[in-house]
Amino acid sequence: MNHIHDGRAPLRVAVRAAYPSVRAGLRAMLGAEPGLSLVEDGGPDNDADVFVVDLDEGSMADGWPTGPAVLLAGSPAEFLRHLSPRGVARAYLLKESTAQELAAAVRAVAQGLVVFDPAVAAMAPVVPESASRAAGESPALTTRELEVLRLIAHGLPNKAIALQLGISEHTVKFHVGTVLGKLNAASRTEAVALAVRSGLLPL
């Protein structure tokens, strides 16, 4: 079954969490982001485009979502038992992620991408190669790469991106090159165009 969103309609997002306060907080974060429409979670056969799942005990009582999912955990180690590929896109983020990072991950998995928080990606090679390619041959973008992509879209040069993110200009150049390679783009402009067309970046 093809779960990739066409990017034309708002993304329908369902939030699953064991604690009502956590669920309310996640819904509030996502509700303020453009292009996202929150729907109620009715279990594994919900009509949502993307599920956001807090991995605290009890949140998986209804079984795994059948569509793309953003998984949230308190530490990278908590993801180890949730990395087996299930044929749909996954994002692995820490609970400290910002609303912008969470929304970017939602948009990414809706397009069939796999996203790892940098702290989770650093666990390689314990992350199985099959998990990093859970959506076929789609590239895996880290949240940092999504941040760099968003700032590229705002027209910022590498030096300004470095200042904005608190990293070196050399590191920015590395991330830009990686983003271009993963998106198969020949230039920054093409990368932004591809990202907007696929729904990774809001218009």
- DSSP letter (8 states) at residue 47: -
Q: Where in the chain is the domain with CATH 1.10.10.10?
A: 143-203
Task: Say whether pLDDT at 83 is over 70.
Answer: no
- The more confidently predicted of residues 78 and 170 is 170
Task: Say whether pLDDT at 34 is over 80.
Answer: yes
Helix, strand, coil % in the chain, rounded to nearest 5: 40, 15, 45
Side-chain half-sphere CA neighbours of 130 within 13 A: 6
Give the CATH number of domain 143-203.
Answer: 1.10.10.10
Instruction: Report the mean per-residue pLDDT for the chain.
Output: 75
Tell me the three-class secondary structure of 70-104, residue by residue.
Answer: EEEECCHHHHHHHCCCCCCCEEEEECCCCHHHHHH
Q: What is the Cα–Cα distance from 176 to 181, expressed in whole angstroms? A: 9
> What order do you get walking across the sheet with 36-39 strand by strand?
36-39, 11-16, 50-54, 69-73, 90-94, 114-116, 140-142
Q: What's the confidence (pLDDT) of residue 25?
A: 92
Predicted model pTM: 0.60
Task: Say whether pLDDT at 44 is over 60.
Answer: no
Q: Where in the chain is the domain with CATH 3.40.50.2300?
A: 1-138
Q: What's the confidence (pLDDT) of residue 75?
A: 78
Q: What is the Cα–Cα distance from 53 to 18, expressed in whole angstroms? A: 9
Task: Say whether pLDDT at 62 is over 80.
Answer: no
CB-based contacts of 64: which residues, under 8 Å, 6+ apart? 44, 86
CATH entry 3.40.50.2300 includes domain 1-138:
yes
